[in-house]
Amino acid sequence: MVSGKFNVKTSHTMELIDITSQIAREIDNTGKEAGICYLYNPHTTAGLTINEGADPDVQTDIIAALQKIVPLNYPYKHREGNSPAHVMTSLVGSSLTLLINQGRLELGTWQKIFFCEFDGPRSRTILWRLV
């Protein structure tokens, strides 16, 4: 088992950041040829997802759809003012399980791994583990 972490800096309130190459580098540095990669985001207002990475409009559409599903102006009781970010994180999720084969991530042709910021800008940490 090998594990580590890396940081992601966000620059907008809500954005999806492609972290696929960062994860691929981490895997490559381990020399591990096959296994499972677990990604975990230890933040309550940000998530992780896999989706299309070829067209940036998909990222924009995901954020817009989440904003439609989770109203920003609902009378939330959480006093910090970031309840929509907490709800969006619950919908998207905080972890991913990825397959590694021949030292590479097994992703579909258009798939990328995204860090989903819902309460930025911030500096975040992603934890990973290969087994």
List strands edge to edge, sheet with 2-9. Answer: 2-9, 123-130, 35-40, 95-101, 104-105
Residues of the chain with pLDDT under 50: none
How many Å apart are CA 42 and CA 126, to the nearest integer?
7
The pLDDT score that the predictor gives to residue 119 is 98
Which pLDDT does position 53 carry in this prediction? 97
Q: What is the predicted pLDDT for the residue at 127?
A: 98
Fold of 2-130: Jelly Rolls (2.60.120)
pLDDT value for 121: 98
pTM metric for this prediction: 0.96
Supply the pLDDT for residue 42.
98
Q: Tell me if 126 sits within 8 A of 26, measured CB to CB.
A: no
β-partners of residue 9 are 123
pLDDT, residue 40, reads 98
DSSP line for 29-49: HHT--SEEEEEE---TTEEEE
Local structure of residue 4 (DSSP, 8 states): E
Q: Rounded CA gap, 25 and 41, in Å?
A: 18
pLDDT value of residue 83: 98
Residue 4's pLDDT is 97
Domain locations in the chain as residue ranges = 2-130
